[in-house]
Amino acid sequence: MKLFVNKPSPYARKVLVLLHEKGALDRVEVVNADPWANPADLLAATPLAKVPALVTDEGWVLPESWAIADYLDTTLPGPRLLPQEPGPRGLELRLAALGQGVTDAAFSAVIEGRRPEGERSPGWVERQKAAILRALPVLEGEVAALSVGFGLGALTVAVALDYLDFRHAALAWGERAPALREWFEGVRERPSMRATDPR
Ligand SMILES: N[C@@H](CCC(=O)N[C@@H](CS)C(=O)NCC(=O)O)C(=O)O
C-alpha cells in the first residue's frame, strides 16, 4: 500500500499516528507530496489531489483521513483503535468527529488567511474560530473518556489540539480548557505523536 502524506497536514498526521499506534508503519509505503504543488504522482493517484490518500494493494484509491483510518484499522494487524461493537464504536466516533471538526475549522481559517488580499473573509475566519471556542468546553468535558486508552477518538483530538498550538497559538486554547491541556501534555509525549510532529 502507498500512503500520500504532507508533514504539516493534520489529516495525514492522524493516519500516521494510527499506523504508529498499531505498530504497522512498515505495512505502507509513505510518500511525501505537497498537494498545493499538484505533484504528478498524487494527481495520478487521486482526482481530489488531497492528502492523505491511500492506494491499496489492489490498486484502488481511498481518499479522506477518516475512511483511511477505518480501512487501515480493519485490515492491518495491531490493536483496534476503532471498536466494532456499536456502543464503544459510537463513543469513539463521537470523539473522532469532534476532533475532526476542530481540525476542519482550524484548517479552514488558515487557508482563508492565505488567500490573496481582498479575497479574504474575516467573517469566515471568525466563524471558524467561534466553532473552535465552542468545541473546547465540550472536549474539556470529555477528558475522562479521552483518558481511556488512545483510540481513534483520542488521537484525532490530540492531533487537532496540536494543530491549534501549531497554527493558532494566539487562541491559547489551553487557558480555556485546563484539564484538556493536562491530558494533552501527557499524550503529546507518545512516540506516535513525537514522530509525527509537523514543526
Ligand atoms: N476531509 C479531508 C481533508 C483533507 C485535506 O483537506 N487535506 C489538505 C492538506 S491538510 C489538502 O490536501 N489540501 C489540498 C487541496 O485542498 O487542494 C480528510 O479528512 O482527509
What is the whole-number distance in angstroms between the Cα of residue 52 and the centre of ligand 1?
Answer: 7
Ligand 1 mutation target, pool 51, 68, 100, 128, most atoms within 8 A of CB: 51
The parent domain of residue 183 ranges over: 86-190
**53-91 burial code (b ≥16 CB/10 A, e <16):** bbbeeeeeebbbbbebbbbbbeebebeebbbeeeeeeeb
Q: Is residue 141 part of a domain?
A: yes
- What is residue 30's three-state secondary structure? strand
Q: Examine the fold and report which residue of 75, 107, 140 is the final residue of a domain before the chain moves on.
A: 75
Q: What is the pLDDT of residues 72-98, one digit of tens each?
A: 999 999 999 999 999 999 999 999 999
Q: What is the pLDDT of residues 115-144, one digit of tens each?
A: 999 999 999 999 999 999 999 999 999 999
Q: Is any ligand 1 atom within 6 A of the Cβ of residue 104?
A: no
In the predicted model, what is the mean pLDDT of the chain?
Answer: 97
Q: Examine the fold and report which residue of 75, 99, 133 is the final residue of a domain before the chain moves on.
A: 75
Q: Is any ligand 1 atom within 6 A of the Cβ of residue 46?
A: no
Q: Is residue 196 part of a domain?
A: no
Same domain, 186 and 90: yes
What is the whole-number distance in angstroms between the Cα of residue 106 and the centre of ligand 1?
Answer: 12
Q: Whose CA is nearest to atom 9 of ligand 1?
A: 9
The DSSP symbol for 147 reads: T
Give the pLDDT band (50/70/90) at residue 54.
Answer: very high
- State whether the Cα torsion 90-185-113-7 is positive or negative: negative
Greatest alpha-carbon span in the chain:
50
Q: Per the structure, how many domains does the chain have?
A: 2
Q: Residue 32's domain is classified under what CATH number?
A: 3.40.30.10
Same domain, 181 and 94: yes
Q: Is residue 64 part of a domain?
A: yes
Same domain, 97 and 179: yes
Grid cell for residue 36: 498545493
What is the whole-number distance in angstroms between the Cα of residue 51 and the centre of ligand 1?
Answer: 5
